[in-house]
Chain A
Amino acid sequence: SQQGEEDPQALSIQEGENATMNCSYKTSINNLQWYRQNSGRGLVHLILIRSNEREKHSGRLRVTLDTSKKSSSLLITASRAADTASYFCATANSSASKIIFGSGTRLSIRP
């Protein structure tokens, strides 16, 4: 069963604009992670936020976590063509038995 669900499924924005993707999950977590996948390739880890953290930054990325709403958001500022990819959230549940991925958001950056 899917733990995380991303929203929207697809997003198309103009280069230079900000992109926001959301993730909702169902059970208690130890951490939540965001990954990027370029077409036909493996996933690349972007950022990890622990359950006791509310916000984290890495370069042009900003991640928030609201454990009361069981949701997270990924903001990419000043988007570039190279940001075109699929983005996935993944949750490591509290029993640490597995990491579960959502179905992803496809982001397209228009020049």
Chain B
Amino acid sequence: DVKVTQSSRYLVKRTGEKVFLECVQDMDHENMFWYRQDPGLGLRLIYFSYDVKMKEKGDIPEGYSVSREKKERFSLILESASTNQTSMYLCASSLQTGSSFEKLFFGSGTQLSVL
């Protein structure tokens, strides 16, 4: 069964801390994504990666960076956490077929609270 695993279900951090959110997929997918989800705003794309060491900014990359050193792992980094980064973070992966994205497989999400 396909699986996308996010390292933490709940996380509480202090303002100014460096935060790492880890995501691992076991499906050999080329594409991996990080979204944040806030009430009333739906899912907003932070960053995505279409290959190892490749990354593209999404709609809200400010305050975030990413790392993809291995195909199966995509990390989201909050360099200096702020309270407005309190949110649900969702990782996803997908195959790429030609020029089209196929369906996304999501992890269970990490609820991050920054105090």
Residues of A within 8 A of B4 (CB): 42
In the assembled complex, A69 has its CB within 8 A of some CB on chain B: no
Residues of A within 8 A of B45 (CB): 98-100
In the assembled complex, B106 has its CB within 8 A of some CB on chain A: yes
Give the size of the chain B interface in residues (CB under 8 angstroms).
Answer: 30
Which chain B residues have a beta carbon within 8 Å of chain A's beta carbons? 4, 33, 35, 40-45, 48, 56, 58-59, 88, 90, 92, 94, 96, 99-109, 111
> Secondary structure at chain B's binding surface: helix, strand, loop or mixed?
strand
Number of A-B contacts (CB under 8 A): 67
Contact of B105 among A45, A90, A103 (CB under 8 A): A45
Q: A40-B109, A41-B109, A42-B90 are in contact. Are A101 and B42 (CB under 8 A)?
A: yes
Within A24-78, which residues are at the interface with B (CB < 8 Å)?
30-31, 33, 35, 40-45, 48, 50
Residue of A nearest to B41 (CB): A103
> Secondary structure at chain A's binding surface: helix, strand, loop or mixed?
strand
B108 and A99: CB pair below 8 A? no
Give the size of the chain A interface in residues (CB under 8 angstroms).
Answer: 27
Residues of B within 8 A of A103 (CB): 40-42
